[in-house]
Chains A and B, each alone.
Chain A
Amino acid sequence: MPAPKLSRRSALKWFTGSATAATALPGLAAPGETEPAPPAFPTRHPIQDPDFMAQPYPEAWPKTLTEAELKQIDVLADIILPADEHGPAASAVGIADFMNEWLSAPYPDQRDDCETIRGGLAWVNTAAFQAHEKTFTELSLAEQTALVDKIAAPEAAPVPKKFFTTFRQLCLGGYYTSTKNWAQLGYVGNVSIGGPYPGVPAEIIEKLGLQDVA
């Protein structure tokens, strides 16, 4: 398996920006810098030494989105990933909760996403106000969908386009990491199998003409 990739951008930004996040994550120092010695912690470090058995997982940082933002996220996410024959709507698997956790996290990538999403949600509300003198959630489904068509269009301006792309990416991430949605995606693992590993089914080997290497 290729080693998981640490985004260099993230790492460098994180290391240099660690002072600002020091309250959330004590004790991470940049290479080449020294730091005041933290106290000994014979108890477990909450981030570097997580307790995987603690369930539900203790909240690692305070969630910062407002009720109105969460409601708007649910409505918008359900247009992007609606209930249909494939599976439930995004709101039904806790998409707003996931986004609240993600966008409140202290890490550089998530802070970038937070700026994009919060700004974008407000941008969408302004567009709704300019067209209908209402907030986005007060619009009819047809009006909401028309607005989504605008920000999803290839010719959309950079700000709404970036918002839509980021928002959709987070919807997909939150939705398909829910175990309920694994099957509709085609992931059937995380179960134990006795005996030797079964390998690739014969029908796939035939379909792809892999008989000579199987």
Chain B
Amino acid sequence: MPVLTDRKTQPQYDVIVVGSGAGGGMAALRLALEGVKVLMIEAGRNYDPAKETAMFNTPEMAPLRGERTPARPFGHYDCNIGGWQVAGEPYTNKKGTEGDFWWWRARMLGGRTNHWGRIALRFGEHDFNCASRDGLGVDWPMTYQDLAPWYDKVEMLIGVYGENDGIENAPNSSPGVLLPPPKPRVGELLAKKAGKKIGVPIVAAHRAVLSQPLDAKNLPKKLFPGNAKAQEILSKDMALRAACFWATNCVRGCSIRANFQSTTVLLPAALATGNLDIITDAMVREVIIGPDGRATGVHYIDKVTRRDAVAKARVVILAASSCETTRILLNSKGKDSGGTANSSGEVGRNLMDSVGTGLTAHIPAMEDLPPYNEDGAGGLHVYSPWWKVRDHAALGFPRGYHIEMGGGRQMPSVNSLSILNTTAPGVYGSKLKEEARRYYGASFGFSGRGEMVPNKDCYCELDPKVVDQWGIPVLRFNWKWSDHEIKQAEHMQQTFAELLTAMGGKANPLSGRDAIKKPGEIIHEVGTARMGAKAGSSVTNQYCQTWDVKNLFLMDGAVLPSNPDKNPTLTILALAWRSCEYLMDAMKRGDV
């Protein structure tokens, strides 16, 4: 199926969506299904997962056997065009920043949804009133109950495996929504047993991977009642998505559409409506604001011809990724000098990433096991939701983390056997091959993803002196971790060491300061145009509508007022869907 229509545009659209990832893809699909005429503008190139995914490609077919390099930090086969450095599109860090922020960007249709870990966790009831609980940061302008129905809808639409465990602040889905999780691998079972011993719950992961085909007959009726055309389109499209065949890591993307990517789940159905046009290789510079203070469209650079161009619509939705959306706002002209939709002064502030650390050890019990296929769902089958929700006073840090884990016999890479440098130094010949077989896949690791508290030192702004190759002023970052994050990172390391020890391994935990990953390295940056209950202290209302410009919406991670440990993609999807319903009502009423 072609993912892309011709490079054509109409003189006028109902809605322009900037960005084609989770937020943009969701918005385009929802609106197009209701007959709204949508133009999507994507900075990267067209991308067709059916033809371009490295399914089953082996190390021998790649440069350096597919090894990670500074230019391909997740390995050659990572489904991403771009990365922490994009040719011709620099960013800077402010003098005096404590840590250089790494800004990950995708320049392809579908954005970062092509590359993510497919870990799809709901934010919990406490996450929405975090400030009321511990006095830090701000509360959300909505409750978990407000968003819960949209989580259900998104999970049914994209397909998420997992189980309902009834754990506080790790919400259950409604009955029948989740797909069955795959059975754990041996390392995951050993971890589960160790978790039982030391009191860390390890349960089925929630990931956007089809463990069985979607119910293409009934789901569309539940999702789009009263919209026969939407049901027909979704029925057809869901039936075309295959279930996972338990091979090929999800980070490569998926040509059989078994996992969620905007390009495999949202855009094909949106294009099938006939109501969506997409232009790629188009870098949006700013939102155009008319004399009446309303958005009239966007100004973009056509990257192929290097010419400036304008597209017009009744409504503009920015979903370009948190910091790119922020950059567009700051580069747009509004009533005040700080860009558009920024009367609160909050645009660019409250930048958050996830706290990340990892720890791996050799596990003797995993040595020399009879071979069996551990590829599985191309990502983790189990995880630990945060289990100390009520213990923060004693812990000395305010917010929690979840634990991801993995190891065992993954596809061999150049460094799979570097453990032999320690366990078998100097050995060569047939004996070395025996050692290789013994130690291969006998390692297991944990990595934490924790919630940071927004602070005044973490922000981005325009660099007054630098433009990118498209002539657009670039972002400049400033960063400082607070003690909250360092203490949380330290706790992660101690917990991972306990788990690894209980599994029979020898662990060497680091201090929190040494273990914590770079700001931006976890690629969960959010918060730079947060939603809130009041105009003075936030950029949008709870429906992603900017307070200052009524027909301008932000539907990506920028609007998140806090960054719970649960990875943000599922929530971005749910917020976009909910906000589109509000938008369509407002359009019908003539309010926007």
Chain A residues in contact with chain B, CB under 8 A?
1-8, 10-11, 14-15, 25-29, 31-35, 37-38, 40-42, 44-45, 47-53, 55-57, 60, 79-82, 84-87, 98, 101-102, 105, 107-108, 110, 148, 152-154, 164-165, 168-170, 172-174, 176-179, 182-194, 196-201, 203-205, 207-208, 210, 212-214
CA–CA, A184 and B409, complex, Å: 13
Please state if B440 and A48 are interface contacts (CB–CB under 8 Å): no
Docked pose: A213 CA to B195 CA in angstroms: 10
Chain B residues with CB under 8 Å of A25's CB are 71
Instruction: Specify which chain A residues have a CB less than 8 angstroms from the CB of B377 in the assembled complex.
Output: 197
B405 within 8 A of A: yes
When C-beta atoms are compared, the residue in chain A nearest to B382 turns out to be A213
Contact across chains for A15 and B85 when beta carbons are under 8 A apart: yes
Contact B183 A5 (CB under 8 A): no
Provide 8 A-B residue pairs closer than 8 Å at the C-beta atoms, listed in order of the A residue: A1-B379, A6-B521, A28-B87, A84-B433, A169-B421, A176-B416, A187-B440, A197-B246
Contact check, A188 vs B373: say whether CB atoms are below 8 A apart.
yes
Q: In the bound complex, how far is the Cα of B72 from the Cα of A177, in angstroms? A: 18
Q: Which of B26-34, B48-56, B572-580 contacts A (4 or more CB under 8 A)?
A: B48-56
Task: Give 10 A-B pairs besides A14-B70, A52-B52, A152-B426 with Cβ atoms closer than 8 angstroms.
Answer: A28-B85, A31-B101, A53-B51, A81-B432, A172-B420, A173-B65, A177-B60, A192-B245, A196-B180, A201-B370
Contact of A186 among B61, B381, B420, B440 (CB under 8 A): B440
Q: Which 3 A-B pairs have the closest CB atoms?
A: A199-B183, A27-B87, A173-B414
B421 to A, closest residue via Cβ: A165
Residues on A with beta carbons closer than 8 Å to the beta carbon of B183: 196-200, 214
Within 8 Å of chain A (Cβ to Cβ): is B88? yes
Question: Given the complex, which residues of B lie within 8 Å of A84, measured CB to CB?
Answer: 430, 433
Cα distance A190–B86 in the bound complex, in angstroms:
31
Q: How far is the CB of B562 from chain A (nearest CB, A)?
A: 22
A57 to B59, CA, bound (A): 11
Residues of A within 8 A of B412 (CB): 176-177, 182, 185, 187
Nearest chain B residue, comparing its CB with the CB of A35: B90
B430/A4 in contact, CB under 8 A: no
Residues of B364-412 whose CB lies within 8 A of A: 365, 369-377, 379-381, 404-406, 409-412
- In whole angstroms, how far apart are the Cα atoms of A194 and B186 in the complex? 20
Interface stretch, picked from B73-81, B326-334, B527-535, B542-550, is: B73-81
Nearest chain B residue, comparing its CB with the CB of A173: B414
Task: Say yes or no: B85 contacts A173, CB within 8 Å.
Answer: no
Task: Choose one: A44, A85, A190, A214; the contact of B56 (CB below 8 Å).
Answer: A190
Known A165-B425, A200-B186: A86·B433 in contact at CB below 8 Å: yes
Residues of B contacting A212 in the complex (Cβ-Cβ under 8 angstroms):
193, 196
B-side interface residues, number (CB < 8 Å): 120
Residues of A within 8 A of B62 (CB): 57
Do the beta carbons of A1 and B380 come within 8 Å of each other? yes
Q: Name the contact of B406 in the complex, choosing from A1, A31, A154, A183 (C-beta under 8 A).
A: A1
Stretch from B228-236, B288-296, B316-324, B441-449 at the A interface = B441-449
- Which residue in A27, A41, A174 is a CB contact (below 8 Å) of B65? A174
**Which listed residue, B63, B66, B73, B281, touches A6 by the CB 8 Å rule?**
B73
Q: Are A8 and B518 in contact (CB under 8 A)?
A: yes
- Whether B373 and A193, one on each chain, are in contact in the complex, defined by CB atoms closer than 8 angstroms, is yes
How far, in whole Å, are A182 and B59 apart by their CA atoms in the complex? 11
* Interface contact A32-B93, CB-CB below 8 Å: yes
Contacts A87-B433, A212-B193 given; indicate if A48 touches B61 (C-beta within 8 A): no
Question: What CA separation (Å) do A10 and B71 show in the bound complex?
Answer: 10
Q: A196 touching B182 by the CB < 8 A rule? A: yes
The answer to whether B430 touches A48, judged by C-beta atoms less than 8 angstroms apart, is no
Q: Tell me if A's interface is mostly helix, strand, loop or mixed.
A: loop
Shortest CB-to-CB span from A81 to chain B, Å, is 7
B413 is an interface residue with CB less than 8 A from chain A: yes
Chain A positions within 8 Å of B60 at CB level: 177-179
Complex CA distance for A168 and B84, rounded to whole angstroms: 32
| Interchain nearest-CB distance for B345 vs A (Å) | 25
Which residue among A102, A148, A172 has the maximum number of chain B CB atoms within 10 Å of its CB? A172
Contact call B417/A47, Cβ cutoff below 8 A:
no
- B108 partner residues in chain A, CB cutoff 8 A: 49
Measured CA separation A81–B436 after assembly (Å): 11
CB-based contact A189/B426 at 8 Å: no
User: For residue A44, which residues in chain B have a CB less than 8 angstroms away from its CB?
Assistant: 45
Chain A residue, CB-CB nearest to B58:
A179
Known A40-B306, A186-B437, A200-B183; contact A213-B417, beta-carbon cutoff 8 A = no
Across the interface, do A37 and B88 meet the contact criterion of CB distance under 8 Å?
yes
Q: How close is B558's CB to chain A, nearest CB, in angstroms?
A: 21
Residue B192 at the chain A interface, CB threshold 8 Å: yes
B57 interface residue per 8 A CB criterion: yes
Query: Once the chains bind, are B83 and A48 in contact (CB under 8 Å)?
Result: yes
Give CA–CA (A170, B56) in the complex, Å: 23
Expressed in whole angstroms, the Cα–Cα distance for A4 and B65 within the complex equals 15
A199 to B375 alpha-carbon distance, docked (Å)? 10
**Do A204 and B372 have beta carbons less than 8 Å apart?**
yes
B568 in the interface (beta carbon within 8 A): no
CB distance from B491 to the nearest CB of A (A): 17
Tell me the complex Cα distance, A149–B417, Å.
Answer: 21
Knowing A48-B71, A173-B417, A189-B411, the reply to whether A184 touches B437 (Cβ < 8 A) is yes
Chain B residues near A8 (CB-CB < 8 A): 518
Contact call A173/B413, Cβ cutoff below 8 A: yes
Q: Which B residues between 220 and 262 are near A, CB-CB below 8 angstroms?
A: 244-249, 251
Complex Cα distance, B185 from A214, in Å, reads 9
Q: Which residues of A contact B247 (CB under 8 A)?
A: 189-193
Q: Which listed residue, B86, B180, B379, B436, touches A172 by the CB 8 Å rule?
A: B436
Q: Given contacts A32-B100, A187-B412, A196-B211, are A52 and B437 in contact (CB under 8 A)? A: no
